[in-house]
Amino acid sequence: MTNLGAGQAMNVILLVGVTVLSCILIHYLFKIFFGGKKSENKKHKAESEVAVVSDLTEPTVEETRTILKNKKRAPWKTKTEYTHPWLLKNLKGHPGTVLMMDFSANGKFMAATCDEPTAGGAPGESPGAAARRRRTRDRRRATAPSPPPTTPPPIATDQLVEALRPHLLSPKRMWALGYPLEIEPNSCKAVVYVNPPPRPRPPQFTSFDVNAPEFVPGGSQSDSGRGSLGSTPRSESDEEADAVEHLCVRCDKMFRMTREGEYVVEESCVYHWGRISSDSRHTCCDAHLGSKGCSTARFHVWSGTRPGMNGPLEGYVRARSPRGGVYAIDTEMCYTTAGLELASIAVIAADGRLVYRSLVKPSSPVVDHNTRFSGIRPRDLARATKTLRDVQNDILGFVGNDTILIGHALENDLRSLKLLHSAVVDTCALYPHSRGFPLRRSLRALSQELLGRSVQKSSSGHSPLEDARAAMDLVLLKVHEERAQRSRASKQIPILQPYDPLISAA
């Protein structure tokens, strides 16, 4: 019994010793595996922070990776000079300006986006090869296609007529915009009031002439040369006495022509054909306002009208019977000895189809074809067979007194057609200028902004067909917008009014 008790005690002691040794061994192994990882993570985090700070504070030093977290990587063989405080190396080793930099969610890693270097790429590679490689890469990139131009869906003619009635110009508005109006019913004689052109002019300093003749009210004065007839001859020769003075619409100089359309003095016209920008520069040559012109023409030209009252003007026609319909009209004109005359016309229906198009032979000798804007060339007018009277008869064949005509600055088209019409919709009035009348927005700007369509950009001149379709689409777009606004207003919940017993009892 004594030996049995002693053996059991020895077994218990051995079991306790093995258990203690196992616990010590497990604790030692745990410290080896997990304690080493924690210290390594702390060390890597500290080294990465030191590397970022060194890159931000010393951008021009030579970079090596021998002291970073991975010591097995070979150091950089080439030197890179940085010009931006945030310059890092991306995954492929292309140094460049940092476009975006951010840390990961756990804060251990940093992601940076850099652009490509502007000069040579790989060591020993020429800048031309790097540029060719970049161009090849850029061509491979898929470019986003530009949005297609907006074309409003067509509307039935009767519905379009009802929608356009609120936009018809009143006689007072037509008079202010320069539309031709009939003097008396059935007289076919028109009168036009032309506002002075809103063009900026350079400051001019005038001096007083001490030798000028004294002005006597009511006395006999010589004619001012602006087209009025005086009893006193203006020149010694009969030719100069019959001459009429006009204002050149391109260079703003006065020139004289006989009543037969001959120039008294043949003088070349030096002018700027571009518009005046917001910074008082010409868009044609970027020269300052008041500088010498960049283009030269053989003769001065005029528009056929003068600021103020013009009339009575003969040769105008008017539709007498109703025919209905909605059409868009655009014309192109050239300069003649009698001013601007019709050279081309295009008429578009509401559904976009071409209704009428023709070249027109001017009745007076052509001075300038105005090809830059009209697109008319001498060979075009050489094959034109129709006169203005023929075109008037053709137009009155489908245009009635109730037909709605659409156009951009339509008064110029009606004056060139010598057509009297009262049912007109003008996109200049439909989309007014932000600074008000008499400033107007161009058809090119309206089409680009509202339709996403580029018109009047061809170097060969404007197309009346393209301009007429642009004017029709602008009107259709306005009608669709008004319909959408009325639809949204009808769907809104009406505001509840407070209860009034007197109103309710009534």
Residues near 260 by Cβ (< 8 Å), separated by ≥ 6?
none
155-164, 212-221, 385-394: which range is least confident on average? 212-221
Q: Measure CA 266 to chain center.
A: 39
pTM of whole model > 0.85? no
- Mean predicted confidence (pLDDT) in 155-165: 94
Return the pLDDT at 64: 47
Delineate the domains of the chain, giving CATH numbers in brackets.
Answer: 29-62+79-117 (no CATH), 157-197+312-491 (3.30.420.10), 225-306 (no CATH)
Q: Is the pLDDT of residue 240 over 60?
A: no
Residue 316: closest CA among 396, 228, 425, 402 = 396
Which is higher by pLDDT, 501 or 411?
411
pLDDT band at 28 (very low <50, low <70, confident <90, very high): confident
Which is higher by pLDDT, 275 or 428?
428
Return the pLDDT at 36: 61
Distances (CA, A) of 84 to 110, 186, 306, 364, 366: 18, 80, 63, 69, 64
Q: Within a 10 A sphere around the Cβ of 141, how many other Cβ atoms?
A: 6
pLDDT band at 228 (very low <50, low <70, confident <90, very high): very low
Distances (CA, A) of 59 to 63, 94, 114: 9, 15, 15
Taken as a whole, the chain contains a residue count of: 506
Return the pLDDT at 209: 53
For the stretch 292-330, pLDDT in tens is 889 999 999 999 998 899 989 999 999 999 999 999 999
Question: How many DSSP H helices and E strands does the chain contain?
Answer: 14, 18
Q: Is the pLDDT of residue 198 over 80?
A: no
- Mean predicted confidence (pLDDT) in 80-101: 51
Cα–Cα dist 144/163, whole Å: 38
For the stretch 391-410, pLDDT in tens is 999 999 999 999 999 999 99
DSSP result, 212-237: SPPP-TTS-----SSS---SS-SSSS
323 with 402: CB under 8 angstroms?
yes
| Tokens of residue 4, six digits | 């049995």
Per the omega criterion (within 30 degrees of 0), is the bond before 438 cis? yes
Write phi, then psi, for 372 (nearest 5 degrees): -60, -35
Residues near 218 by Cβ (< 8 Å), separated by ≥ 6?
none
